[in-house]
């Protein structure tokens, strides 16, 4: 039969299939397990999927026990669960929910031995596994508050200190990138953040305008009835913006052409209206810079349709003077800044050059090093070719490249940096004032065509300034059912959307540690063009110098604990916070 044409070696007759199934049933003890579980139909065996319905033994047609007939043509891979999935199968959940490879693994006792969740998390911790991100798997919150284990926290557990006390605020590094949305999850309700009364809203706005902060207790028994907590929450949601158009979203400004298409733009064909908008914007940005220089405003953002600028007061992020960081830039913008006499540096390029000088040739994602070596090799080849022509005496008969071509070739390296993180520009000291005047007169600061034509850049600040409009972040709360090891539990979420600045994130985390009793998780959605703003620009200082700078910034409008955190040198580099967790009043985060 094996020699016949078209014969398949894997083919088996129905009688052979039945004989193989009976042997497998006896060897694996499925029948015995079914008899132990009971003779009633419908009783499931752990690790075995139910078979297709069929006549039962003992029915009028058949005689025998009460066990459901097995499908003789069922596939073995479809009837039995995989050993790894059987090992992690919990009594109260299904296999699809419990199979999470990044969090739990099969036990050491064998593939069929269930392993406690706490032990599995401990093994994942020893393996230095990375926690799941909110975008990759939302089920990470299922095990976050199970109470049986937790990935390693960045700081040891302790009692909950006061919000505005003298405790060090550096529980997690400051993130200078702008966030578009926060998704807060907690096993405790967010009822204290819902349906604020008119008096509570008024008190929160008044505290924000007057830059006053109330000292909240370390613990609140009933957060929903705490007027101080609800007012502080309203105060955290406040920010100041210019310009402000109710029908037009002005953040973010990069890559939002599709969202702005179809909106009413009355200034597109009116040059007088465009000039009026720019005059008001010039007064507002000048007022903001004066506040930053006087340390009455800690920082502010200038968001254009091409790049973002972060102005910071002296003492912020470990710097000794006022600074401005631009990201990302182009060769034309840098050349225009040089023509105006603005001195600036490229910190990321200098850092990479320093590493190359030290002989540390490590892999990087950006191709700047290779482009630089290629450009230098081409320049050397050109010089060698010109000298060879001169020796032969035919240099006059060959058309040499003109000065423009030579300049373009030398600038090839810088052109490759455009729109890349390495094009980040740092301006310090008095040059920031020259940069401000440059922006006021720079024609390319405003788009000349498109949906953003004639629209001035967006100014975002934590304190009031001339021409600013008071805005509040949007808040929405949702209650969802989350599957855990022993069944389902209520998981409460709070969504905060809008331009979330660094002080807002810190203020909300301080309130959440009190209201949620030190158990919450925050998923952060970053405006990616601003991720490079976390680059360290200063060197660590002594504690006495940090305290002195913090005291000089007491009148900047932020809480003292927030000022102390933002005054710390940046530690994230080019990365940003993607998820921030708190468990038992200790922080852990993921970048």
Residue 35 lies in a domain: yes
Strands across the sheet containing 308-312: 425-428, 323-327, 308-312, 299-303, 458-461, 238-242, 469-472
Residue 112 lies in a domain: yes
SS (H, E, C) 329-389: CCHHHHHHHHHCCCCCECHHHHHHHHHHHCCCCCCCCCCHHHHHHHHHHHHHHHHHHHHHH
- Same domain assignment for residues 73 and 123: no
The three-class DSSP label of residue 136 is coil
- Provide the pLDDT for residue 586: 92
At 545-572, the pLDDT tens digits run: 666 766 788 889 999 899 989 988 888 9
- Same domain assignment for residues 49 and 96: no
- Same domain assignment for residues 76 and 91: no
- Provide the pLDDT for residue 67: 55
Cα–Cα distance measured from residue 121 to residue 116, given in angstroms and rounded to the nearest whole number:
9
pLDDT in tens, the chain (591 residues): 445 555 566 677 888 888 888 888 776 654 444 444 444 444 444 544 454 444 444 444 444 445 566 677 765 555 444 444 444 434 444 434 333 433 333 343 433 344 443 343 433 343 444 443 333 434 333 443 333 333 333 433 333 443 433 334 447 999 999 999 999 999 999 999 999 999 999 999 999 999 999 889 988 989 999 999 999 999 999 999 999 999 999 999 998 888 888 888 899 889 999 999 999 999 999 999 999 999 999 999 999 999 999 999 998 988 888 999 999 899 899 999 999 999 999 998 888 777 777 765 554 444 445 545 555 555 555 555 556 666 666 656 666 565 666 565 656 666 678 878 889 999 999 999 999 999 999 999 999 988 999 999 999 999 999 999 999 999 999 888 888 788 888 889 999 999 999 999 999 999 999 999 999 999 999 999 999 999 987 655 545 666 676 678 888 999 989 998 998 888 898 899 999 999 999 999 999
- Provide the pLDDT for residue 533: 94
- Provide the pLDDT for residue 29: 56
- Provide the pLDDT for residue 98: 39
Q: What is the CA radius of gyration of the chain?
A: 32
Find all residues with CB under 8 Å of 145, minimum gap 6, and list them.
186, 187, 491, 519, 583
Which residues are paired to 482 by β-bridges? 489
Task: Compute CA 178 distance to the chain's CA centroid, rounded to the nearest angstrom.
Answer: 10
- Provide the pLDDT for residue 112: 38
- Same domain assignment for residues 374 and 410: yes
Q: How many domains does the chain have?
A: 3
- Provide the pLDDT for residue 69: 66
- Provide the pLDDT for residue 146: 39
SS (H, E, C) 486-512: CEEEEEEEEEEEEEECHHHHHHHHHHH
Residue 340: CA count within 13 A, CB half-sphere:
20
Residue 63 lies in a domain: yes
- Same domain assignment for residues 76 and 88: no
- Same domain assignment for residues 50 and 31: yes
Residue 504 lies in a domain: no
Residue 286 lies in a domain: no
- Provide the pLDDT for residue 32: 47
Q: Which of residues 80, 102, 119 is at a domain's end?
A: 80
Cα–Cα distance measured from residue 355 to residue 297, given in angstroms and rounded to the nearest whole number:
36
Q: Which of residues 380, 396, 415 is at a domain's end?
A: 415
Residue 56 lies in a domain: yes
Residue 140 lies in a domain: no
Whole-model pTM? 0.66
Helix (H) or strand (E) holding 553: none
- Same domain assignment for residues 49 and 36: yes
- Same domain assignment for residues 21 and 75: yes
- Same domain assignment for residues 75 and 20: yes
- Same domain assignment for residues 124 and 88: yes
Find all residues with CB under 8 Å of 474, minimum gap 6, and list them.
496, 497, 498
Q: Which of residues 415, 442, 471 is at a domain's end?
A: 415
Domain that holds residue 373: 368-415
Cα–Cα distance measured from residue 191 to residue 207, given in angstroms and rounded to the nearest whole number:
22
Strands across the sheet containing 519-526: 474-484, 487-500, 179-186, 519-526, 579-583, 586-590
- Same domain assignment for residues 25 and 68: yes
- Provide the pLDDT for residue 413: 63
Q: Where does 243-288 show beta strands of DSSP type E?
A: none
- Same domain assignment for residues 47 and 96: no
Residue 115 lies in a domain: yes
């Amino acid at each position: 039969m094996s020699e016949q044409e078209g014969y398949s070696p894997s083919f088996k007759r129905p009688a052979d299939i039945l004989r193989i199934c009976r042997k497998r049933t006896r060897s694996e003890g499925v029948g015995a397990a079914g008899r132990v579980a009971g003779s009633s139909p419908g009783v499931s065996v752990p690790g075995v999927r139910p078979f297709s319905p069929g006549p039962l033994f003992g029915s009028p047609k058949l005689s025998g026990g009460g066990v459901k007939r097995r499908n003789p043509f069922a596939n073995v891979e479809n009837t039995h669960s995989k050993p790894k999935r059987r090992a992690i199968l919990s009594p109260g959940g299904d296999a699809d929910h419990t199979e999470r490879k990044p969090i739990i693994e099969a036990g050491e006792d064998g593939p069929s031995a269930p392993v406690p969740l706490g032990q599995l998390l401990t093994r994942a911790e020893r393996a230095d596994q990375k926690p799941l991100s909110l975008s990759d798997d939302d089920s990470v919150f299922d095990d976050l508050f199970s109470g049986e284990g937790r990935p390693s926290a960045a700081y040891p557990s302790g009692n909950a200190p006061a919000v505005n006390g003298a405790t060090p605020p550096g529980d997690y590094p400051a993130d200078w990138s702008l966030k578009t949305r926060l998704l807060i999850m907690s096993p405790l309700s967010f009822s204290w953040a819902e349906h604020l009364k008119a008096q509570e809203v008024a008190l929160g706005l008044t505290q924000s305008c007057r830059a006053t902060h109330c000292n909240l207790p370390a613990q609140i028994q009933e957060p929903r009835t705490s007027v101080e907590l609800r007012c502080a929450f309203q105060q955290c949601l406040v920010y100041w913006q210019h310009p402000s158009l109710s029908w037009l979203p002005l953040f973010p400004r990069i890559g939002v052409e599709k969202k702005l298409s179809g909106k009413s733009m009355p200034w597109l064909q009116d040059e007088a209206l465009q000039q009026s908008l720019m005059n008001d914007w010039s007064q507002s940005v000048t007022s903001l810079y004066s506040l930053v220089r006087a340390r009455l405003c800690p920082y502010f953002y200038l968001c254009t349709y091409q790049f973002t600028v972060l102005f910071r007061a002296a003492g912020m992020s470990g710097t000794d003077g006022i600074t401005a960081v631009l990201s990302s830039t182009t060769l034309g913008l840098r050349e225009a800044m040089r023509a105006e006499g603005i001195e600036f540096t490229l910190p990321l390029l200098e850092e990479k050059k320093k590493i190359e000088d030290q002989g540390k040739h490590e892999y990087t994602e950006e191709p700047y090093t290779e482009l630089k070596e290629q450009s230098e090799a081409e320049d050397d080849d050109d010089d060698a070719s010109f000298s060879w022509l001169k020796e032969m005496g035919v240099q006059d008969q060959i058309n040499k490249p003109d000065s423009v071509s030579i300049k373009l070739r030398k600038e090839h390296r810088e052109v490759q940096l455009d729109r890349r993180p390495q094009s980040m520009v740092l301006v310090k000291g008095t040059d920031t004032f020259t940069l401000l005047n440059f922006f006021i007169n720079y024609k390319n600061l405003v788009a000349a065509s498109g949906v953003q034509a004639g629209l001035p850049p967006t100014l975002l600040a934590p304190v009031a300034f001339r021409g600013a409009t008071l805005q509040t972040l949007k808040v929405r709360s949702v209650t969802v059912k989350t599957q855990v090891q022993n069944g389902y539990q209520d998981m409460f979420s709070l969504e905060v959307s809008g331009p979330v600045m660094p002080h807002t994130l810190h203020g909300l985390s301080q309130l959440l540690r009190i209201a949620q009793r030190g158990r919450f998780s925050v998923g952060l959605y970053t405006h990616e063009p601003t991720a490079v703003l976390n680059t360290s620009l200063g060197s660590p200082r002594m504690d006495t110098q940090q305290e002195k700078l913090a005291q000089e910034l007491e009148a900047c409008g932020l809480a003292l604990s927030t000022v102390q955190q933002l005054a710390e040198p940046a530690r994230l580099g080019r990365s940003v916070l993607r998820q921030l967790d708190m468990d038992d009043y200790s922080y852990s985060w993921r970048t």
